[in-house]
Structure 1
Amino acid sequence: MVTNDRLIMPTRVVRDYLNSSLVWSDFLTQGGFVSGDIVVADPFKAGTTWTQRIIQQILDNGEERKDALSDTSPWLDSSFGDHATMLAMLKAQREAGERRVLKSHLPADAVPIAAQARYIFVGRNGKDLGISFHNYLSQFSAKTMDEINRIHAEWSNDPTRLVIPESVQEFFDKWLDTDGYGCCDLFDVVRSWWKLRDEPNVLLVHYRRLKEDLRGQIVRIAEFIDVEPTRLRLDVILEHCSFGYMRERAEQMAPFAGTHMRDPKAFFHKGPARDYHAEITPEQSARFDRLALEKLGTDCAHWLETGEERPGASAGGRRQAA
């Protein structure tokens, strides 16, 4: 466990329709990170909830909690979340000596990086991610969208409303044209965390690896957060972390317990079965690949697409791809 007191403060503020990094200053004011804390970071729909669930199940050794996942593992830097309640819960967890799990959809340089905390960054093929993101946003309730737009207009003085196109192909183009459609800049987020891949308290996880070898990835994550895998009820944890199991308990698993959506089960839409080939054009796919190469570089773009490292990767690269 990394135990020194080194803290890298955020170097920029990031705010958009869905995210606000400002709340991290309140988190630091009330005590900040302690040894054992875990942050799950990624762009939207890369596998955040899946990874949170895996960590929760590792820490609880397969036991189920009564509380919804988001009630104990909050999306702290959401623009429209109840930050006071989340901060109070995190403070109570710290005082009780519980290991805390937070999630973020921000770039690494907008988040405090504490040596005593562990950071797990999750990547996913960006074309599947973009399509899944469209489905997620299109399922937000009218009440939620009104709240998001009200908050955004207040701080930005921009009355432009976030409107989600019905067509996934139209959304995909707008998402690429505008660096995330004002919701999350995929390339910015991925690039910033990729730079930290060699840090001893940062682990890169990929959606494809979770899909193809869930047992192996559970073991890998357990080792990273200092839980002995041989003591885990792995078969139980595997069942509890399966897509079908989580989808049937969508109200327990979805962010905000699904209250921001028209139907919580829509959060678990196609999951591992999603295939961008059936939903966007070959031209859109090729355009994404060109942008990824331009904005991420060859090694990072390859990892985001496949979950695999290229030959000659650094020691950190070998650790993340094992």
Structure 2
Amino acid sequence: MTGLRRYRTVVSDSALWAGFRFRDGDVVISTPPKCGTTWMQMLCALLIFDSAELPRPLTEISPWLDATTYDTEAVIAGLESQRHRRFVKTHTPLDGLPFEAGVTYVCVGRDPRDAMLSFEHATANIHPDAIAAGGLDQHDGPPPAEDPLERFREWADAEFTPESAWFGVSLANLVHHVRTFWDRRDSPQVVLFHYADLKADLPGQLGRLATALSIDIARQRLEELATAATFDRMRNRADELAPGVDANLWRSNKDFFRSGTSGQWRDLLDHATIEHYQRRVAELAPPDLAEWLHRGRLR
């Protein structure tokens, strides 16, 4: 782990990757929170098992390896016992992960404004018992503002930090996470997807993933498998697919899959806040990355 940046929050620690032994063919799914992590896990599962029926809940097949809320030794032992191709979840950026030959690193980007609102809905859905059990009610710092516009501005203005007493969620951290992949997007081991592209052409993006993972699959089969990863299908299987179901994390597993839509920020943000946001993005990201984050369509 020498030379890697260490990322720590109240629920994760990237140093836990030191205990994991990679295999040729492993897939690491590394996304900012609420940018399509579970969606990408499902797409990997569909291709690797060539089936919409999973042998176990998704969170057990594809665990969050560096989460501190789980028994890390048990998680790693479970991954060691897997005989199928492994795909592992993390919210650690690429500069905090061991970069191993033969491993594919997948990132999903999303319009940061949508990610921020989705995160707010997700935190409101966390069960109070899970908050207390995980120590999530013990985080330092001032409480979030009651005004949603003020919370948005606080999120936009927060500085990047690899260590956070809460979840490390800010515009700066999201842009930094994606940029660690963007700057290495020409590597054959690095693959970038965008939430909007997945929504626009799920079979086509599933085909992109198959190519990246060197999985030979017919177009007709891609179409069939992609139907299992639509929002409604995944929401109907929430007890099997939502993260944290084994720990009773959510008030409602179905509400983890809240809407799957984009652009809801337009109903919240006024003109001044949008301009403020745009200036902040320009400070954090080069123009090509900023355009891709908001529009997708990687060329």
1:211 alignment counterpart:
199
Code of the aligned partner of 1:107? P
1:175 pairs with 2:155: yes
Q: Which runs of 5+ in 1 are unaligned?
A: 1-7, 154-158, 309-320
Q: 1: CA distance between counterparts of 2:270 and 2:114? A: 12
1:65 alignment counterpart:
54
Superposition TM-score, scaled by structure 1 size: 0.83
Give aligned pairs, total.
290
2:105 alignment counterpart:
119
1:17 pairs with 2:5: no
Q: Measure how far apart 1:66 and its partner are.
A: 3.6
> Are the aligned partners of 2:105 and 2:191 in contact in 1 as well (CA < 8 Å)?
yes
Farther-moved stretch of structure 1 (80-89 vs 65-74): 80-89
Change (3 A) 1:16 1:245: same
Q: Measure how far apart 1:266 and its partner are.
A: 1.5
2:291 alignment counterpart:
302
1:149 pairs with 2:135: yes
Q: How does 1:157-306 map to 2 (within 5 A)?
A: 160=140, 168-179=148-159, 182-184=166-168, 185-230=173-218, 233-257=221-245, 259-306=248-295
Q: 1:33 aligns with which of 19, 22, 26?
A: 22
> Are the aligned partners of 1:41 and 1:122 in contact in 2 as well (CA < 8 Å)?
yes
Q: Measure how far apart 1:68 and its partner are.
A: 0.8
Code of the aligned partner of 2:11? L
> Are the aligned partners of 1:45 and 1:129 in contact in 2 as well (CA < 8 Å)?
yes
Q: Which runs of 5+ in 2 are unaligned?
A: none
C-alpha distance after superposition, 1:71-90 (max 9, x if no partner): 00011122323322211111
Q: Measure how far apart 1:274 and its partner are.
A: 5.0
Q: 2: CA distance between counterparts of 1:65 and 1:99? A: 14
> Are the aligned partners of 1:71 and 1:256 in contact in 2 as well (CA < 8 Å)?
no
2:41 alignment counterpart:
52
Code of the aligned partner of 1:54? L
Identity in percent: 30
Q: 2: CA distance between counterparts of 1:162 and 1:49? A: 30
Q: Measure how far apart 1:204 and its partner are.
A: 0.6
2:92 alignment counterpart:
106
Superposition TM-score, scaled by structure 2 size: 0.89
Q: Measure how far apart 1:257 and its partner are.
A: 2.2
Q: 1: CA distance between counterparts of 2:130 and 2:242? A: 15
